[in-house]
Amino acid sequence: MAKTLRIHSFETFGVHDGPGIRLVVFAQGCPFRCLYCHNPDTQDLETNKTILKTVDEIIELLEREKPYFGKSGTGGGLTISGGEPTLQAKAVTAIFKKAQEKGFHTCLDTCGAIVNKDVEELYRYTDLLLLDVKHINNDWHRKLVGQSNDNVLKNAKIREKSGREMWLRYVLVPGWTNQKEYMLAWAKYFAHFKTVSRVEILPYHELGKHKYQELGRKYLLEEIKPPSQAEINQAKEIFTEYFGEKVLVH
């Protein structure tokens, strides 16, 4: 079993990726190429800035952060995000296993790009799955991230079948993901999932734009602006019709 994780960066006191205050580890490497990705420097698995950490080193960090986890009143723990953490499923599984043995809550933030036995094994040690479902229409999904949504939907079904908790995430991008008919189709698709305890709408922002310049890459959503309050309200209304109070705008 792989003993080290390839990491882009860490966030202590993370409050956006799972319940409570968390240590968030951003894994290096991602098979998707989302046009709006605000961390394009996490996409390649091999970079000269990659940090390598062993399972024990990550657990040590977690132990150090432990005193802060309870302070939000909702508990906290470890989130592994990315990039796409399931590219390194075996290493993440080893970390989650050990974290759970020590009583920490584990949360996996994934785009759902990869389906295999290692990922299913990883889900067994994942207390909460944060699954980004970027578009319900396959053509739009391909245009937006460069690949089909087949694996994403398979992952959603695998988690649902396991009966274990999942939050769904939706990045709201004007002109790309805010088509009313597709938001409705997205909501209807997941409305009967019993494991979904929260639906998070993440309004598109432009914070990662400058990184494309630094990487010598063209930012293809140059003309796109963050959604207006009216656009956010419309998305919230559509999702609320199906998920009620589970809907939250980040």
Task: Please report, as ranges, the residues that interact with ligand SF4 according to CB under 6 A.
Answer: 30, 32-34, 37, 39, 42-43, 82-84, 111, 145
Least spacing, CB of residue 204 vs ligand SF4, in Å:
11
Instruction: Quote the least distance from Cβ 219 to ligand SF4, whole Å.
Output: 13
Q: Which is nearer to ligand SF4, 26 or 242 (CB)?
A: 26
Closest CB 170 distance from ligand SF4, rounded Å: 13
Q: What is the torsional sign of CA 145, 168, 10, 58?
A: negative
45 versus 61: smaller Cβ distance to ligand SF4: 45
Closest distance of CB 141 from ligand SF4, Å: 11
Q: Which residues, in sequence order, are CB contacts of 117 under 8 Å at separation 6+?
A: none
Q: Which tokens go with 104?
A: 């920490």
In DSSP terms, which residues pair with 78 in a beta bridge? 23, 106
* Residues 6+ away with beta carbon under 8 Å from 157: none
* Minimum gap (Å) between residue 149 Cβ and ligand SF4: 12
Measured from the CB atom, is 20 or 112 closer to ligand SF4? 112
Rounded distance, CA 185 to CA 97, Å?
36
Q: How far is the CB of 82 from ligand SF4 (least distance, A)?
A: 5
The answer to whether residues 174 and 35 touch, using CB atoms and an 8 Å cutoff, is no
Tokens 């919230």 belong to residue:
236
User: What is the pairing mode between strands 166-172 and 196-203?
Assistant: parallel
Per-residue DSSP letters for 85-128?
A: GGGGHHHHHHHHHHHHHTT-EEEEEE-----SHHHHHHHHT-SE
Q: Which is nearer to ligand SF4, 32 or 239 (CB)?
A: 32
Nearer to ligand SF4, 128 or 173 (CB): 173
Nearer to ligand SF4, 36 or 96 (CB): 36
